[in-house]
Homo-oligomer: A and B are copies of this chain.
Amino acid sequence: MQNAGTIDELLSDGIKATPPSFVRSILKAASDPDVTSFAGGLPNPISFPQENLTESMQRVVAAHGADAFQYSATAGIFELRQWIADRYNARFGHDYTADDVLVTTGSQQVLDLLGKVLLDKGDGVIVERPTYLAAIQAFAMQQATFHEVRLTDEGLDVDELEAALDAGAKMIYLIPNFQNPTGLTYSAEGRRRAREALSGRNIVVVEDDPYGELRFEGETLPYIGGVSHPHGVVMGSFSKTVTPGFRMGYLLTKDHGLLRNLAIAKEAADLHTNVFSQYVILDYLQHHDLDEHLVKIRDLYRSQAQAMVAAMEEFFPEGVTFTQPEGGMFLWVTLPEGVASIDLFPKALERNVAFVPGDPFYVQPGNYNTLRLNFTNADEHTIRDGIRRLSEVLAEAI
């Protein structure tokens, strides 16, 4: 056929507004086996109960046969939704039922569905500054107007939050525990203040909690508004506790008007989540004590986080600060004003160590003086040695 014109003329404003994932390109650069990569966001393979899952697959085929391979319901299988509701009720004393749960293709899909169901071009969405980069992607696809609210050691800056709420927003997206990218956790008081500010506002309050069960220090704290707000949504995932490869996430909400529309969007997106994997995860959860499994993961991540913090305290130059996470997979480093972490990335690679510059975690582009480090995928010796090499790069730059 003759030339038909360029594809650029056909692309939507939505996709043009969506930043490609910076981190994926970084990960390529860091994939050299000689490189100590703190750039990834991968759970440690210790968290995958491979043998138990393989046994579950046998049982699922024997017990469910063709039903495990056939088309299935959009909401997800009932027993898995019931297990998820029971788990949250046991942990937080709520009263969720299976009807309050939607099983999704990873918790990333919840972001996609929320964006579609709530955000038209120009609609406001409030996010933490910095925030999870793939949430920026999902909401940018809807051409949303972002209101960033500064994240402090306690939680959101409440003055900035009030201003953002007054500016108008349909949704606020929060990661209250061991946030990605900062590793910060809202304090009890920080949660209370944010809850107060959100009270009575007509806004969907989304709390994304993929790491909530990976707390290796301190005590579990109540949600901000994901449960108590009339339009509250709590997001969860099996990616950090069982396996990310299955892409198994979920949301809980008592707002069935919202849930019904999220289910319609889910149906138009992929009909339903992989039903065989749903049965396998359910069978695993029914035959094993998840809490015992989590102890293993927490103990490992605690020691890895402590090794990284100890090495940073030993090697990092004056003027470099960092967070000390109580759980999760990441911590956050702040360099002196004016030092752009992205300029240090190639220098770090020369020393065979990789990190993620802060830039993709902000809505506005700019040469930020922050960077994210992942501590879950290297042993303590490698962590110490990698931080030592990174510290040399920082010392030269400051």
Of the listed residues A137, A141, A247, A255, the one surrounded by the most CB atoms of chain B closer than 10 A to its CB is: A247
B interface footprint on A195-227 (CB within 8 Å = 1, 0 otherwise): 100111111100000000000000000000100
Contacts A10-B170, A170-B10, A276-B245; is A141 near B112 (CB within 8 Å)?
A: no
* Interface of chain A residues 242 through 289 with chain B (CB within 8 A): 243-247, 255, 257-258, 261, 264-265, 267-277
Please name the residue on chain B nearest to A140 by beta carbon: B268
Q: Are B15 and A117 in contact (CB under 8 A)?
A: yes
Stretch from A68-76, A90-98, A291-299, A387-395 at the B interface? A68-76
- In the bound complex, how far is the Cα of B61 from the Cα of A123, in angstroms? 45
Q: Are B48 and A66 in contact (CB under 8 A)?
A: yes
Q: Are A265 and B7 in contact (CB under 8 A)?
A: no
- In the bound complex, how far is the Cα of B170 from the Cα of A5, in angstroms? 12
Q: Are B141 and A116 in contact (CB under 8 A)?
A: yes
Q: B123, B137, B170: which contacts A268 (Cβ < 8 A)? A: B137
- Counting every copy of the chain, the complex holds 2
Contacts A65-B50, A268-B112, A274-B245; is A13 near B134 (CB within 8 Å)?
A: no
- In the bound complex, how far is the Cα of B13 from the Cα of A170, in angstroms? 13
Residue A87, interface by CB 8 Å: no
Q: Are A70 and B45 in contact (CB under 8 A)?
A: yes
Q: Are A257 and B45 in contact (CB under 8 A)?
A: no
Contacts A118-B11, A247-B272; is A20 near B225 (CB within 8 Å)?
A: no
Of the listed residues A198, A244, A255, the one surrounded by the most CB atoms of chain B closer than 10 A to its CB is: A244
Q: Are A69 and B42 in contact (CB under 8 A)?
A: no
Please, which residues of chain B bring their CB within 8 A of the CB of A4?
A: 199-203, 229-231
Q: B8, B10, B24, B69: which contacts A244 (Cβ < 8 A)? A: B69
Q: B71, B258, B272: which contacts A42 (Cβ < 8 A)? A: B71
Q: Are A42 and B18 in contact (CB under 8 A)?
A: no
Residue A2, interface by CB 8 Å: yes
Size category of the A interface is: 35 or more
- In the bound complex, how far is the Cα of B2 from the Cα of A228, in angstroms? 10
Residue A364, interface by CB 8 Å: no
Q: Are B54 and A66 in contact (CB under 8 A)?
A: no
Q: Are B12 and A116 in contact (CB under 8 A)?
A: yes
Q: Are B200 and A257 in contact (CB under 8 A)?
A: no
Q: B10, B53, B142: which contacts A204 (Cβ < 8 A)? A: B10
Q: B7, B61, B69, B204: which contacts A258 (Cβ < 8 A)? A: B7
Please name the residue on chain B nearest to A53 by beta carbon: B69
Residue A381, interface by CB 8 Å: no
Please, which residues of chain B bring their CB within 8 A of the CB of A200?
A: 1-4
Tell me the smallest distance from the CB of A283 to a CB of chain B, in Å.
13
Please, which residues of chain B bring their CB within 8 A of the CB of A119?
A: 12
Please name the residue on chain B nearest to A248 by beta carbon: B274
Stretch from A103-111, A151-159, A312-320, A344-352 at the B interface? A103-111
Please, which residues of chain B bring their CB within 8 A of the CB of A230?
A: 1, 3-4
Contacts A118-B12, A120-B13; is A274 near B271 (CB within 8 Å)?
A: no
Please, which residues of chain B bring their CB within 8 A of the CB of A9?
A: 202
Could you show 7 A-B contacts with beta carbons less than 8 Å apart? Answer: A6-B202, A6-B257, A7-B231, A68-B245, A105-B247, A243-B276, A270-B270
10 smallest beta-carbon distances between A and B, as pairs:
A5-B202, A45-B66, A137-B268, A48-B69, A69-B243, A7-B257, A69-B245, A105-B270, A245-B275, A1-B199
